[in-house]
Amino acid sequence: MDRVHQLRELLDQYNYEYYVLDNPSVPDSEYDRLMKELIDIEAAHPELITPDSPTQRVGAEPLKAFQKVIHKTPMLSLGNAFDEADLRDFDRRVRQGVGDQKVTYVAELKIDGLAVSLTYENGQLVLGATRGDGTTGEDITQNIKTIRSVPLKLKQPVNLEVRGEAYMPRASFERLNKRRAEAGEPLFANPRNAASGSLRQLDPKIAADRKLDVFLYQIGSTDGKELRRHSDGLEWIQSLGLKTNPEWRRCDSLQKVLDFIAYWTEKRPELPYDIDGIVIKVDSLEQQRMLGFTAKSPRWAIAYKFPAEEVVTTVEGIALTVGRTGAITPTAVLTPVQVAGTTVGRATLHNEDYIREKDIRIGDQVVIHKAGDIIPEVVRVLKERRTGREVPFRMPEQCPDCGSDLVRIEGEAALRCINPKCPAQIQEGLIHFVSRNAMNIDGLGEKVIKQLFKNDLVQDVADIYALTYDDLIKLERMGDKSVRNLLSAIAESKKNSLERLLFGLGIRYIGAKAAKTLAQAFGTIDRLMAATTEELLSVEEIGDKMADSIRTYFSSPDVRALIGELKSYGLNMTYTGGTTQEANAADSPFNGKTVVLTGKLSAMSRDEARSAIEKLGGKVTGSVSKKTDLVIAGEDAGSKLTKAEALGIEIWDEARFMEALNT
């Protein structure tokens, strides 16, 4: 019917003016009158209803679960810059990468929300998805449709995948928390947490009620549109009816980028939505292609993060840990304090040089923050508050675990234990080998590994495959069923694709992503072991340090003997195309950590939270102990939270948890 077509065009135009341009041309009453007319016509003639009708924004039944979506082009995360020096280093790398060409940047506000992808076919919205792990997201199309600034139909019939940030305006956040307070429901900690929780509601009516918004900022893919610059892309998608943030600027020098950052650092409180930094991108798409990508992020973009919240606490002690590569890492044990919404009781001190440079002493009062809003870090010592009772710290000359002399390798800051028989290194290497991102041997966690080592049942990773029922049944808390399940998991791990084995071996500088790249490039471990430096360097994303590390590792007779032993146990040594966790999983704050969930989470169920943590390399247990690394506390957390506080275990609230999942 002509009238239906006319009504839809009018309503789409009025909707665009109101929600995208913020400049309505008709009063709300006129919009409501036309919408009612369209609803009445469609009710009388259901055959006229189409997916892009304005009436279909909130018409779907609640979902039972979100379906997984594989992104055609990965949604990579951005590298971070925390100060001017980081930005100048980024600018230097860009200019080196493009040679003598002039570089222009685009600076954009970094919206503090949830990354989403929208797919249009012939101008029709067909898919809305979360970023997920960058490769696999969740289908949230029904909830995306509830965001009024998202057009169900573009102004041109194009095929387009576009990325952006869904967020909750501050006004919507305040209204939502006010209603929840009146209803006696737990409050959301911040707009980002609220936006994430809203888009993951199975009932789209709930999402619609939350009044979310979106800014689109990047073209993922499109057909038939030739663009020369990123800024051209922003203007083009805006012309299609998509909402972009107006506060972006083309900057023909780094100084203009710095000026833009300085302006918004001061003005950010005046915005009606939250931002947590500024994104800087190379404007030329040709230069973007020249610069390419690392394993985790584009080389042509970086996210400047605003300075973190700073608080004062006391250094109660300095603890030492021995990593699987022998590096000795000092950690400040702090009087627990709230930082950016979570309780912090420990902060990394990196190495001896770091402690000396900052002159950190036991008993000092120090200023700490979370670097990137994630990692607790000592900013400076309040020397003016010293009483004279503070104790200078000296790194030991011997390994705190095996007693061997520590060495400092030329060009490195860390002290290392180079004893190949160091119990701490062996155990950490075994724990890494069986971890979820590596060989993924379910049931063979840190506690079992330490029992096996203590009982002289394992000394290297090959010993895992020699374990028998009689070996395992003697271990503490290992019954018949547990032993049989573990032996089955060990046997199953032999089938893993090559990249899991490579990552599990713990070759220095080779993370999960690089391991998969190498496995794909060489196909078998024999070909990789025989590869020359030149052959390794010919593989995209493998640099000099990686190549040297691989050659050094496989030149060791002990390593070659180990590979031979693993072959004799029947381990697969070939790339089979199996999947591994992305590098962001390997580098996630949950990787290798034992996590306890307590209290009620508003954004997801307990099972969903467990699954998300395990996907990022964590292990979720039901009770708090000294072995617990992290406790995530929702509303009405009880005895587990109390015990975690008493043990000085790191505690996150739901807001911090959601930030970690969505970063």
Q: Name the residue among 427, 394, 453 with its Cα closest to residue 326.
A: 427
Residue 155: strand, helix, or coil:
coil
Q: Name the residue among 553, 603, 470 with its Cα closest to residue 194.
A: 603
Report which DSSP code applies to 574: B
End-to-end CA distance of the chain: 47
CB 227 within 8 A of CB 209: no
Question: CA-to-CA distance for 116 and 538, rounded, in angstroms?
Answer: 34
Sign of CA dihedral 523, 527, 529, 532: negative
Residues with Cβ < 8 Å from 493, sequence gap 6 or more?
434, 439, 440, 441, 500, 571
Q: Is 70 exposed, middle or buried (0-12, 13-18, 19+ CB in 10 A)?
A: exposed
Question: CA-to-CA distance for 396 and 132, rounded, in angstroms?
Answer: 43
Which residues, in sequence order, are bridge partners of residue 405?
A: 398
Q: Name the residue among 39, 84, 37 with its Cα closest to residue 57.
A: 39
Residues with Cβ < 8 Å from 614, sequence gap 6 or more?
436, 620
Catalytic residues: 110
Question: CA-to-CA distance for 168 and 194, rounded, in angstroms?
Answer: 7
CA distances (Å), origin 587, targets 492, 513, 617: 25, 10, 9
Q: Is 314 exposed, middle or buried (0-12, 13-18, 19+ CB in 10 A)?
A: middle
Which residue do the tokens 């069923």 mark?
481
Question: CA-to-CA distance for 11 and 142, rounded, in angstroms?
Answer: 19
Question: CA-to-CA distance for 514 and 525, rounded, in angstroms?
Answer: 14
DSSP code string of 417-444: E--TT-HHHHHHHHHHHHSTTTT--TT-
CB 261 within 8 A of CB 170: no
In angstroms and rounded to an integer, the radius of gyration of the C-alpha atoms of the chain is 27
Question: CA-to-CA distance for 621 and 616, rounded, in angstroms?
Answer: 15
**How is residue 635 written in tokens?**
């509303």
**How is residue 88 written in tokens?**
């100048």
